[in-house]
Amino acid sequence: MQTLKLQEGIIYGPIKSRRLGPSLGINLLPKSYKLCPFNCIYCQYGWTLAHTDNASAYMDDLPTMEELEEALESWLKRGQDVDYITFSGNGEPCLYPQFDRMVEVASELRNKYVPQARLAVLSNSACLGRSNVIEGLKQLDERIMKLDCGSEETFRKVNHPHKNIKYKEIVENLKNLDDMIIQTVFMDGETNNLENGEIEQWIERLDYIKPREVQIYSIDRPSADQTLKLVGKEKLQKIAQKAEKITGISVKVF
């Protein structure tokens, strides 16, 4: 089965997101390949070819500020409503070197054309050590941050991070980030994040980080690793109940 096609432009959708409703996507990343510090085994876009924690070598393939402004404004001018405008796309949006400025531009255009829409990011949490990323994240209405695992070992097997990225640092950076949602993908198969105390360790991390909410789901599209198996809703509900009971944090199943 084929993985999802990459987004071909800067603006895509609106897509009917499982978690956000109608959401207009902004792709700050290259159009013809995925740029990401992770290489998640479940990635819907297939394997990561440009696996990096630094986008500076790829600048020629990234949209400019002017291109983003023009693309977003020309879409919003048409007058169609959206619930969310979301930074996501072909990889990790926070890799964009001027992420904070991009958020400012999108925020100004949102205020002008669709003031009721919320600005969000879907991020893998790998770039939280950078001040421009933190500044950009603060200006958004929703920060939806990835944490799929409870241990460094499983993190390496599931997310295949770039060598400079350490699980412990991600957990500490998430703890220091105010008012955000953690999103977690559960998967079964030879590599999974369900066994050997992994769920219990993940719950411990949630209790430490104290996000406002946790959203969990399983794979629903062909993955990079096609041997992965879906985790059923019943199992996800049990994980959610256990995590809620221990942490007191709202855990929603999608």
Q: Which residues bind ligand SF4 (CB under 6 A)?
A: 36, 38-40, 43, 45, 48, 91-92, 124
- Taking alpha carbons only, the member of 39, 29, 35 closest to residue 161 is 39
CB of 78 to ligand SF4, least distance (A): 28
Q: Considering beta carbons, is residue 36 or 76 the nearer one to ligand SF4? A: 36
CB of 124 to ligand SF4, least distance (A): 4
- Taking alpha carbons only, the member of 139, 143, 100 closest to residue 120 is 143
Rounded to the nearest 10°, the torsion over CA 34, 216, 198, 137 is: 60
Q: Considering beta carbons, is residue 159 or 247 the nearer one to ligand SF4? A: 159
Rg of the chain (C-alpha set): 17
Q: Considering beta carbons, is residue 81 or 153 the nearer one to ligand SF4? A: 153
Residue type, position 206, single letter: L
CB of 135 to ligand SF4, least distance (A): 21
CB of 162 to ligand SF4, least distance (A): 11
CB of 38 to ligand SF4, least distance (A): 4
Q: Which letter, b or e, does each residue of 3-29 get, where b requires 16 or more Cβ atoms within 10 Å of its Cβ?
A: eeebbeebbbbbbebebbeebbbbbbb
Q: Considering beta carbons, is residue 147 or 236 the nearer one to ligand SF4? A: 147
Helices (H), the chain: 65-76, 99-113, 131-138, 152-159, 167-175, 198-209, 233-247
Q: Considering beta carbons, is residue 40 or 68 the nearer one to ligand SF4? A: 40
The CA distance from 17 to 8, in Å, is: 18
- Taking alpha carbons only, the member of 74, 87, 66 closest to residue 20 is 87
The CA distance from 165 to 163, in Å, is: 6
CB of 74 to ligand SF4, least distance (A): 26
Q: Considering beta carbons, is residue 223 or 247 the nearer one to ligand SF4? A: 223
